[in-house]
Amino acid sequence: MNAYVFPGQGAQFTGMGLDLYENSELAKELFHRANDILGFEITKIMFEGTKEELTETKVTQPAIFLHSVILSKVLGDQFKPDMVAGHSLGEFSALVANGVLDFEDALRLVSKRALAMQKACELKPSTMAAVLGLEDEVVEQGCVETEGIVVAANYNCPGQLVISGEVEAIEKACEWMKEKGARRALVLSVGGAFHSPLMEPAREELAAAIESTTFHTPNCPIYQNVATTAITDPEEIKKNLIAQLTAPVKWTQSMKNMLADGATSFTEVGPGKVLCGLVKKVDRSIETISASV
């Protein structure tokens, strides 16, 4: 069975999507439509922008979404998923790819999500940190024992977990992790504490937009970050998508469930090859393909 996975924030690079734009009339049309919907020329930033411009949340999220979704559409008959998943933001790309969301509706939601998250980040100093080389349970214990808001946010693969919360709490938690034998506990250069309780204002704002958007029955199951199991009910998909902003990305668990349900290959659709690498850390023998251009 063919599993298709879609990357999240952090996969952006200058020039992303340019080959698609130059070599496909369909891609060109969708990029122009995106510029109109967003109200600014995101194509100019994607193709020529600086690293700093591309890392602005209001740009990064729609840019990665556009690269992934337009690539999946350009693949045409080659794109035949039996199951899909997306890492954080990538869940929106996955939902367009499996027919749950229309391109325009999803892009509007992604743009609203990015702006809402940016606003939430500005309310309180917060950050994230990558912890390598510890069991998940140890990292979770460290979050509980650290004073302040700090939670497990991204279960990326065995031995790699990202924590999220208040700046001071994250720094204390990193020291705790190192004392417990973490190979690394590194504060990341991100805008704020994604997938933590500090994103509650963004969750509330996005919830209203998601509730008023039409979700169709999917062409194939999606393994959502919150649920980790095969989901096909549009109302359940909505609920999980809303919960995702303040809940952890359970990527390791999702990959294991996809493998258990019969996935024989994973194709990463969008910028970069990060997810291919994470899949290999769950099961080294599984076939991974990068459709990035």
- What amino acid positions are annotated as catalytic residues? 88, 195
The sign one gets for the Cα dihedral 2, 61, 21, 34 is positive
Cross-strand partners of 84:
4, 222
Q: What type of residue is 31?
A: F
Cβ neighbours, 10 Å, residue 114: 24
Cβ neighbours, 10 Å, residue 212: 8
The Cα-based distances of 174 to 69, 100, 169, 237 in angstroms read: 36, 39, 9, 34
Residue 220, H or E segment: none
The Cα-based distances of 17 to 114, 266, 287 in angstroms read: 20, 21, 25
- For residue 118, count CB atoms less than 10 angstroms from its CB and return exposed for 0-12, middle for 13-18, buried for 19 or more: middle
